[in-house]
Amino acid sequence: MRRTLIALAMAVPLLCGLPAQALPQSGPVGPAPAVLAPVDASVGTPPSDVAATLDPLLADRSLGRSVGAVVIDVATGVVVYDIEATKPRALASNQKVFTALAILDALGPEARITTSVLWDEVTTTLTLVGAGDPTLASVSATGSSLAVLADGVAAQVSGAVSLTYDTSLFSGPTIAPGWSSDYAGMGIAAPVSPLIVDRARILGGDARESDPALAAATAFAVALADRGVIVGDIRMGSATGRVIATTESVPVATMVETMLTESDNDSSEILAHLAGAIQSGTGSFASGAAATLTTLQSAGIPVQGAGFVDGSGLSYEDIASPLTLVSAISLTASASAPAWTWPVGLGLPVAGLTGTLADRFVGPDTRSAAGFVRAKTGTLIGVATLAGTVVDRDSRLLAFAFMSDGTSDTDAARAALDRAATALAACGCRG
C-alpha cells in the first residue's frame, strides 16, 4: 500500500495559482545553487541485486554493443549501478530535460511571456513583436492569443494599416547542425523563431510552417481584418511606436511540463533559445547551448564530455554521459532540489498513462511498472534512451538513465529499456 501511495503521489499534478509575470523579469537571481556533490564514478560499485537484475536485461542484443547505464539511490545520492557511466552518448529527446532546467533557471516556473503589438501613428504601422512564446494561439484560449491582441488593437486603431513583425529576439541559423531541411515538411520541427502561432502547425496535418513568423503575422492580419482593421502589406521589420496591446502566456512551468510529456521539439527549441537570450541578450542555438551548460554546471551536475547544439535532441551532436543525465534527474527528485525545478518531475511521462509513455509499459512483461516509472524517452535512428525515476519494491526512489546508441532496431531497443525499468520497479535492490 505504501508503495502504491508513493507512486500515485508522483503521478498527480500540483494545482497552483501562479501570478502573472512578464519578460524580461525572472524568478531565480544568479546561477543555480549547487545541490549535488560530484559523483565519483571511477569508484566501482559492489556486487548487488541491482547488477544481478539489470546486467542480463541491458545485455539484450537489440541494444547493440554500445550501452551506458546508471542508477542512483535518490535519498543517499549513492550510485548503485553503472555501465560506462561517464562515456558521452547521443541524448535524443532526453536533451529536453536539460533544456527544461535551463529555462526554469533563467525565468522561474511562475514567469509568463508577454507578446506585444506596437503602433506608430506617423507611419500607420503595427508591429507584432516575437517574445519567444511557444504557446501563442490564433484564437482566444487559456494563455496568449492573437485574438486578444487583435481586440486590443481594434479598440484603438481603425482603417488601413501596414504590419511588420519583429523577430530580433533570436538570431543566427534557424536550423541546427545535424538537422534535415525536410524536418518542417515531415512534421518534426519548424525553423526556430521567437514568433510562432498554433505551434507552427499547418492546418490539416502535422507539417510545420517553413516560415513560422510570416505565418503568425499573416494570421494576425486575418484577425485584424475580421475586426475592421485592414492590413495593406506585411513585412519583417524592427519594432517602432508605443505598445497598444499585449497578451500573456501560461506559466513557464506549464510549458515545461507539456514539452517534456509530449516531447515537443518546437517548444523545446524556442525555450532553449529564450534561455540563451536571457543569459546573453540574443537567442540562438549557440547561446541556448551555453545557457544550458551553465545551468548544469551551476547546479553541480557533472558535465564532462557533454556537448549541445540544440534544445530538442534532434541532432546527434547533442551528447552527454549517463552520469550527467541521471544526475539531472536525481537533482529534480531529491529533497534538496532547488524550488524552481519542480516542473521537471511533473513533466516526465508516466509509464502506461501519459505522453510518450502512454503506449509503453502496457504489455504482459512491463505492465506491472505502469504508474511506478516516470521517464523521459528519446529516440533517433540507432539511438534509444530512457531516463527517469522509479519506486522499487522497498519504496525506495531510484533515478536511472539507460542509453543505447548502437542499435539497429530502435523499437526492440525501446522495449528492452522498458523491461529494464520494470525490473527496477520489482527489485528489492539494496546494493
Model confidence pLDDT, tens digit, residues 117-147: 999 999 999 999 999 999 999 998 889 999 9
pLDDT at 47 exceeding the cut of 70: no
The pLDDT score that the predictor gives to residue 8 is 32
**Whether residues 234 and 260 fall in one domain:** no
**Domain presence at residue 175:** yes
**At 322, which CATH number?**
3.40.710.10
**Whether residues 276 and 392 fall in one domain:** yes
142 against 420, higher pLDDT: 420
What residues form DSSP beta bridges with 116? 129, 246
DSSP letter, residue 320: E
In contact, 270 and 134? CB cutoff 8 Å = yes
What average pLDDT does range 94-111 have in this prediction? 98
Which candidate in 171, 263, 287, 315 is catalytic? 263
pLDDT at 11 exceeding the cut of 80: no
Active site (annotated) includes residue 93 = yes
**Whether residues 121 and 166 fall in one domain:** yes
Q: Residues, the chain, total?
A: 431
> What kind and span of H or E run contains 97?
helix 95-107
**Domain presence at residue 18:** no
User: In which residue are the cell numbers 527528485 written?
Assistant: 333
What average pLDDT does range 382-409 have in this prediction? 95
Which candidate in 93, 287, 312, 330 is catalytic? 93
pLDDT tens digits, one per residue of 220-234: 999 999 999 999 999
**Whether residues 287 and 368 fall in one domain:** yes
In contact, 162 and 123? CB cutoff 8 Å = yes
Instruction: Determine the angle formed by the axes of helices 285-298 and 265-280, rounding to 10 degrees.
Output: 80
The pLDDT score that the predictor gives to residue 382 is 96
Minimum mean pLDDT among 2-16, 62-76, 178-192, 282-296: which range? 2-16
Task: Check the CA dihedral 303-307-311-315 and report its sign.
Answer: negative
What average pLDDT does range 63-72 have in this prediction? 95
**Whether residues 402 and 281 fall in one domain:** yes
Pairing of β 229-236 and β 373-380: unpaired
What average pLDDT does range 256-273 have in this prediction? 98
Of 228, 250, 272, which closes a domain? 250
What residues form DSSP beta bridges with 78? 73
Q: For 406-425, give one letter per residue: b (16+ CB within 10 A) or e.
A: ebeebeebbbbbbbbbbbbb
**Whether residues 264 and 408 fall in one domain:** yes
In contact, 89 and 68? CB cutoff 8 Å = yes
Of 250, 272, 292, which closes a domain? 250
SS3 316: coil
The sheet carrying 125-129 orders its strands as 229-236, 159-166, 125-129, 114-120, 242-248
Cα–Cα distance list, 132 to 19, 20, 35, 187, 414 (Å): 19, 16, 29, 20, 33
How many domains does one find in the chain? 2
C-alpha cell at 129: 513583436
Of 227, 250, 273, which closes a domain? 250
What average pLDDT does range 399-403 have in this prediction? 98
Q: Measure CA 289 to chain center.
A: 13
**Domain presence at residue 7:** no
- What values do phi and psi take at 137, rounded to 5? -110, 165
**Domain presence at residue 217:** yes
pLDDT at 313 exceeding the cut of 60: yes
The pLDDT score that the predictor gives to residue 428 is 75
Q: For 202-228, give one letter per residue: b (16+ CB within 10 A) or e.
A: beeeebbbebbbbbbbbbbbebbeeee
C-alpha cell at 425: 520497479
Closest CA relative to residue 244, chosen from 139, 129, 334: 129
What average pLDDT does range 5-31 have in this prediction? 35
**Domain presence at residue 14:** no
What average pLDDT does range 414-418 have in this prediction? 97
**Whether residues 286 and 412 fall in one domain:** yes
Which candidate in 96, 267, 268, 315 is catalytic? 96
**Domain presence at residue 9:** no
C-alpha cell at 36: 549535488
**Domain presence at residue 59:** yes
DSSP letter, residue 307: B
Cα–Cα distance list, 115 to 59, 134, 389 (Å): 50, 11, 36
pLDDT at 44 exceeding the cut of 50: no
Question: What is the Cα–Cα distance from 102 to 69, expressed in whole angstroms?
Answer: 24
Write out the residue range of the structural domain in which residue 99 sits: 44-109+254-426
**Whether residues 209 and 320 fall in one domain:** no
* Confidence grade of residue 429 (pLDDT, cut at 50, 70, 90): low
pLDDT at 280 exceeding the cut of 80: yes
What average pLDDT does range 181-205 have in this prediction? 95
pLDDT at 13 exceeding the cut of 50: no
Tell me what the pLDDT averaged over the chain comes to: 89
The pLDDT score that the predictor gives to residue 20 is 33
What average pLDDT does range 31-41 have in this prediction? 40
- Measured between its terminal Cα atoms, the distance across the chain in Å is 23
Question: What is the Cα–Cα distance from 417 to 375, expressed in whole angstroms?
Answer: 11
**Whether residues 205 and 324 fall in one domain:** no
The pLDDT score that the predictor gives to residue 430 is 61
**Whether residues 273 and 131 fall in one domain:** no
C-alpha cell at 198: 498554433
Longest Cα–Cα distance of the chain, Å, equals 77
* Confidence grade of residue 205 (pLDDT, cut at 50, 70, 90): confident
Active site (annotated) includes residue 249 = no
What average pLDDT does range 249-273 have in this prediction? 98
**Domain presence at residue 3:** no
What residues form DSSP beta bridges with 398? 73, 390
Q: Measure CA 422 to chain center.
A: 24
**Whether residues 105 and 122 fall in one domain:** no
**Whether residues 296 and 240 fall in one domain:** no
In contact, 248 and 113? CB cutoff 8 Å = yes
Question: What is the Cα–Cα distance from 370 to 374, expressed in whole angstroms?
Answer: 9
Angle in degrees, CA 264, 99, 15, rounded to 5: 70
In contact, 183 and 203? CB cutoff 8 Å = no
